[in-house]
Structure 1
Amino acid sequence: MLTNLQRGNFRAKTPEVHSEERGLHQLAAQGQFAMLEQRLKEHNSDVNATDKHGLTILHWAAAYGQAQTVNFILDNNADVNVVGNHEMTPVLLASARGHADVLARLITDGADVCCTDESCTTALMYAAHGGHHHCVQLLLEAGSDFLATNSNGRTAFDIAIAFAHTTVQQVLENHMCMLFESG
């Protein structure tokens, strides 16, 4: 049996990316908040500056579940309801990926839990689609509209059923029952 070297195959080298070469958005996605803080101060950068996709460092940190970085960014006056391309907001990204700790901080700082993307998909729908019951619970407690429909006419409950996310379905049913009993 021939080895890779005998066949003429060489191990590919991954290029090293030095920290000074990484952009602010990449640092936010990787949770490098200390380095991010240093770079923001050195370059007097705006925490609400967008990348070529219209996303801020808060979008990136929220999407990748970097709770400490999200805290740092919000503590430095980032716009919690900043809207990027395709009408994406940090709360939509955190909900889609199931980052409940990040979502909780965004909600605490006044994130709009009823915002929608360009297809009228809400954070609650994203969380239901991903089966993220903790995010669903947080969003319902914060006043998310569970009756809202997306451009396909589906609610978060419809989505939970379609993807067989029974725990999410149960959280939504419990919420509906609670509203019915209190009303």
Structure 2
Amino acid sequence: MSSPATNSNSDDEHSRSNWKLQLNADTPSPNSTPTTPTSLHSCAGVGSGSGGAPKRKSAFLPYRPQATVLTNLQRGNTEATFCPIEVTLSFHERAGQGEITEDQVRIKLERNAHNIDFRDAAGFTALHWASYYGQLATARLLVDTGANVNAEAPEMVTPLLLAACGGHNEVVRLLLDHGANPAHMDIVGNTALMYAAAGNHPHTCNELLAKDPDMTASNENGDTAYSIAVENGAVWAKAVLEQYLSALLLL
């Protein structure tokens, strides 16, 4: 979903049953500068339902950079003059950039009643941002400071879901080692393994499979992690899941 706040079909229970996980082709860059606090909204969305009926969208959609407008200089017409503009990032955006320090964390703790899980305007914590953009060092700093690894943003999105969505297996391992719930489902029943499978992230799948997840778990559309991998043509993730299932049969 491009934004939970703008989902016009959010109360349509009929279309709710049509929610379906589907990989979005855009992958956010950890080095890109988020333009709004709502740029973490998701890894997966849906299209229209059968017969042209609209579907509700899944948990969150990735940040999509705005199209670049060519300048006269780039067109080769004339020399252009650029005026540098200072960009001020919020604490959460800096977490997504991997640019927060221990001193900044300490100051934020002092200003927010020692609560590092304070939310941005869209309801995300700094750990959500760091996890989504794969900022391992920042995620570790926040976790060591006491950040809640199971904090839920709108639509029950946790840092683990965001990290799995982007294939950030080291962040996934960090979160799991500190108590992140691998069985947690978003508002439509998608697990971290489902997001990793949809994104064709085999290493992330391995991290999650090490926690012995329920392979029969399905979302509200009836999809399992394996069926999602098949539907999305996620051949590497599919191979990892098949190997895991084969090993279970030999036990």
Same fold (TM over 0.5): yes
| Residues 91 and 100 in structure 2, CA contact (< 8 A), matched pair in contact too | no
| Residues 33 and 68 in structure 1, CA contact (< 8 A), matched pair in contact too | no
Instruction: Tell which deviates more after alignment, 140-149 or 75-84.
Output: 140-149
Q: CA deviation at 1:39?
A: 2.4
Q: Looking at both structures, which has the greater relative contact order when contacts are Cα pairs under 8 Å and sequence separation is at least 6?
A: 2
The letter of the residue matching 1:54 is G
- 2:24 is matched with which residue? none
**Cα distance in structure 2, aligned partners of 1:66 and 1:48:** 17
CA RMSD of aligned residues (A): 2.0
Q: Which consecutive unaligned segments of at least 5 residues does structure 1 have?
A: none
- 1:41 is matched with which residue? 106
TM-score (norm: length of structure 1) = 0.88
Q: After superposition, give the CA deviation of every residue in 1:37-74 in whole Å (9 maximum; x if it has no partner).
A: 32232341321111111110000000000000001000
The reply to whether residue 16 of structure 1 matches residue 81 of structure 2 is no
Which protein has the bigger helix share? 1
**Cα distance in structure 2, aligned partners of 1:147 and 1:90:** 23
**Cα distance in structure 1, aligned partners of 2:181 and 2:132:** 16
TM-score (norm: length of structure 2) = 0.65
Q: Aligned ranges for residues 14-163 of structure 1 at < 5 Å?
A: 15-17=85-87, 21-34=88-101, 37-43=102-108, 44=110, 45=112, 46-163=115-232
3-state secondary structure, aligned to 2:245 = helix
Q: Which consecutive unaligned segments of at least 5 residues does structure 2 have?
A: 1-70
Instruction: Tell which deviates more after alignment, 42-51 or 69-78.
Output: 42-51
**Cα distance in structure 2, aligned partners of 1:40 and 1:68:** 13
- 2:34 is matched with which residue? none
| Residues 124 and 136 in structure 1, CA contact (< 8 A), matched pair in contact too | yes
3-state secondary structure, aligned to 2:72 = coil
